[in-house]
Amino acid sequence: MSATAIAVPAAEPSYLTDGLTLRSWLLTTDHKRIALLYLGTITIFFFVGGIAAALIRLNLVVPEGLIPSAETYNRLFTMHGVVMVWFFLIPAVPTTLGNFIVPLMLGARDLAFPRLNLASWYLFVIAGIVVLYALFVGGVDTGWTFYTPLSTAYSKGHVVAAIVGVFIAGFSSIATGLNFIVSIHRLRAPGMTWYRLPVFLWSLYATSVILVLATPVLAMTLLLLSFERIFHIGVFDPALGGDPLLFQHLFWFYSHPAVYIMILPGFGVVSEIIPAFSSKRLFGYKFVVWCSIAIAVISFLVWGHHMFVAGTSLYSALVFSILSYMVAVPSAIKVFNWIGTMHKGFIRFDAPMLYALGFIGLFTMGGLTGLFVAALAADVHLTQTYFIVAHFHYVMVGGMVSAYFAGLHYWWPKITGRMYPEMWGRAGALIIFIGFNFTFFPQFILGYLGMPRRYHSYPPEFEVLNVLSSAGATILAVGYLLPLAYLTWSLFYGERASANPWGATGLEWRTPSPPPTDNFDETPVVTEPPYNYPPPELVQRHV
Amino acid sequence: MSETYLPHEVQYSSARHQAESAISGMWLFLATEVLFFGALFLTWIYSRHWNQAGFDAGAQHTNLAIGTVNTVILLASSFVYSAGVAFIEAGNTRRLVQCAAAAWLLGLAFLILKFGVEWRDDFAKHLFPGADFAIHGPLGGSARIFFEFYFLGTALHGLHMVGGLVLVGWIIWRARRAEFSPALHTPVIVVGLYWSFVDIVWIVLYPLLYLVGRGP
């Protein structure tokens, strides 16, 4: 009856309130807290890489380049590439959303190896510091690919320091992948059979297989590269009796599958969101599942398409071209399945769904333009032009970053216990979609017209399209700053979230938001298939 | 029945569940190691294909006697360690400690022979492919690449050995505190898998370093 009884009750005890000291965060082995540590870290790297991108676009506003030195420009795009690839795109979804959601979806209390999980974050931070050191004391001018003999004989930058950073980050990747694989095999709740696993888990499983099997090859390649740079004996520089193509083979054996490390988790996120916001079962669940596995397998067999013009034999190029077409098949099947899921569903256009729809559109563009460059003859014309830049940004930024934001909004109530402001969320999704197309669509045309990538100046006839692209980049920047602002705001002022604000299936929604430290009070038992939404004819439309 | 009382982490349903997961984790880690060394061996084979005469010239400067003795030492070390695993399964902690200690000492002997004796000798003979490399003439360039592999391969294997010694030492320390029993000795098995893997790497390195270049 007293006034205190009516006051808003304090939040339930959760993993967020279980220890409030800095020590309780830095020494935590709770997968949910480690996910948040990662979230903070990769957000910093996203903006570091983003600032480099902003300076690149600023330089290209005028044909002769606003930055006086081409050398500085080279260091900027290298910084952008290294930071974005290894410190944002590859870890983003697995280490943040994956770390948080995987045990919850499995119905488990933690990952299989919690201390290894924490160690992977520390390795990641150390790697990040080493790379930032390399980039800020003078930088690297080789591009993120570290091609030899430029990187071993001619580059004047801090190549070895950057490589040490990437090398250490690899251990972090391997630890995460290993943890996911063992957890998904060993920690499924009673009744959670393989075909009852949500697709997010299948995608992360496929991702982890690539992380675990491809990363060590990059590690050895980078070791050989460092050895060659330090001691001037090596297997890559033709002047030393080596073969530069060997480096490219080894590098792309990792780095092409790495593209799928970036995009497969995005597929998983979208496969959760589309059924939830269409109130329908995922169309062709088994197809989506096996397409994830197929992509992981085929991704190991397509690396040669990066070297069509590098002097490989015509026959190997033909084989790699055909294999590259093949990897498009499972990706396309997934797109059809998402669309099939939406067909006749009750679609709600909440922010996660808007981001997911943006993902489908942009990824499809990125994927289809990939077919152009998988064709041998077209690739001769398009390779090393802005067409390539536009193609992979559609996949990685339009696709992967949109999916990351989709997942972040979708699981934000679960992670923080707060709702984000819906109106701002939708605005953010729209602004990012528009800004992205504005930035990168002109680059398809620029590339088709023959503007080469990685040059700090260009002929005046390309000016209009470049100005358009840079103007779009400012919209995109606003789009990326918005979520930073309103998601931070929601941490303090957002409405408290219920356990299942979206009415979604999946075990993660069967525990309070935010979850208690041990995830579930009682181990959940799974008795139904995934995405068991009622048939559309039974669903009453909410007014 | 006593198994239900064994301690285990919260995410597992039993100690056995945890043990099996830890063992599968180590197998998966070893898969990453196979890919890691696999890339080195692939590069090696590719380079040798194009530089065969130089690789053979380089290989003839390696110390076959030490290499062979080391191979025997390493195999013996793994064998003894595996015997220790069998002993703890039978409940004999004292024999486990003895076996692990013998495996540790054999590992140390390998490292002393490899780096204290063989490497020192190699450096004295100017076989490190630096400024004053010993092998001149038309094959010098290729021989340098051989010795890049020689030093990189043995150094990486040596680092894995050092890590292995730390782990085996940890097993000895825990076994002396009677922390292992027939029902609960997962770390002994996991470290054993790793220790045997380091052997397997050497079994590939040994012919590549010492034998292939010495054919008739």
Which residues from chain A sit within 8 angstroms of residue B142, using beta carbons? Answer: 241
Instruction: For residue range B20-58, list pLDDT tens digits in order.
Output: 999 999 999 999 999 999 999 999 999 999 999 999 999
Which residues from chain A sit within 8 angstroms of residue B33, using beta carbons? Answer: 216
Judged by a CB distance cut-off of 8 A, whether residue A119 touches chain B is no
In one letter, which amino acid is A89?
L
Which residues from chain A sit within 8 angstroms of residue B36, using beta carbons? Answer: 216-217, 219-220
Q: Which of B35, B126, B139, B159 would you mutate first to test chain A, the one with the most A CBs within 10 A?
A: B35
Half-sphere exposure of B62 (CA within 13 A, CB side): 29
CA torsion sign, A286 to A289 to A294 to A297? negative
Q: For residue B7, what pLDDT band results from cuts at 50, 70 and 90? A: confident
Query: Residue A1 carries which DSSP code?
Result: -
Which residues from chain A sit within 8 angstroms of residue B38, using beta carbons? Answer: 216-217
Q: CA-to-CA distance for A313 and A326, rounded, in angstroms?
A: 20
User: A169: closest CA among A137, A211, A115, A106?
Assistant: A211
Q: Is the peptide bond before A460 cis (omega within 30 degrees of 0)?
A: no
* B206 within 8 A of B67, measured Cβ to Cβ: yes
Residue matched to tokens 């799928």 = A260
User: B196: closest CA among B117, B109, B85, B96?
Assistant: B85
Q: CA-to-CA distance for A43 and B26, rounded, in angstroms?
A: 32
Q: Is the peptide bond before A512 cis (omega within 30 degrees of 0)?
A: no
* A208 within 8 A of A181, measured Cβ to Cβ: yes
* A149 within 8 A of A244, measured Cβ to Cβ: yes
Q: CA-to-CA distance for A512 and A14, rounded, in angstroms?
A: 8
SS3 A418: strand
A131-164 exposure pattern, b = at least 16 Cβ within 10 A, e = fewer: bbebbeeebbbbbbbbbbbbbbbebebbbbbbbb
CB contact under 8 A, B21 and A182: yes
What is the H or E stretch that residue A341 is in?
helix A314-342
3-class SS shares of chain B: helix, strand, coil, % to 5:
80, 0, 20
Instruction: For residue range B128-145, list pLDDT tens digits in order.
Output: 988 888 888 888 889 999
User: A370: closest CA among A329, A325, A307?
Assistant: A325
Domain boundaries, chain A: 31-536
User: A397: closest CA among A64, A43, A95, A88?
Assistant: A88
Q: CA-to-CA distance for A243 and A150, rounded, in angstroms?
A: 13
Judged by a CB distance cut-off of 8 A, whether residue A60 touches chain B is no
Q: For residue B2, what pLDDT band results from cuts at 50, 70 and 90? A: very low
B29 to chain A: closest CA residue: A178
SS3 A496: strand
A519 to chain B: closest CA residue: B11
SS3 A452: strand
Chain A, chain B: beta-carbon pairs less than 8 Å apart: 104
In one letter, which amino acid is A526?
V
pLDDT above 60: residue B1 = no
Q: In CATH, what class is A31-536?
A: mainly alpha
Please state the pTM of the whole predicted model.
0.94
What confidence score (pLDDT) does residue A539 get? 61
What is the H or E stretch that residue A407 is in?
helix A402-416
Q: How far is CA A138 from CA A168, A179, A327, B8, in A?
A: 20, 36, 39, 49
* Residue A376: both structure tokens together: 């041998």
Judged by a CB distance cut-off of 8 A, whether residue A182 touches chain B is yes
Written as tens digits, the pLDDT of chain A (543 aa) is 344 444 444 567 899 999 899 999 999 999 999 999 999 999 999 999 999 999 999 999 999 999 989 999 999 999 999 999 999 999 999 999 999 999 999 999 999 999 999 999 999 999 999 999 998 898 899 999 999 999 998 988 899 999 999 999 999 999 999 999 999 999 999 999 999 999 999 999 999 999 999 999 999 999 999 999 998 888 999 888 889 999 999 999 999 999 999 999 999 999 999 999 999 999 999 999 999 999 999 999 999 999 999 989 999 999 999 999 999 999 999 999 999 999 999 999 999 999 999 999 999 999 999 999 999 999 999 999 999 999 999 999 999 999 999 999 999 999 999 999 999 999 999 999 999 999 999 999 999 999 999 999 999 999 999 999 999 999 999 999 999 999 999 999 999 999 999 999 999 999 999 999 999 999 999 999 999 998 766 665 554
CB contact under 8 A, B11 and A103: yes
End-to-end CA distance of chain A: 36
Q: In CATH, what class is B29-214?
A: mainly alpha
Angle at A264 between CA A263 and CA A270, to 5 degrees: 90
How much is the ipTM here?
A: 0.94
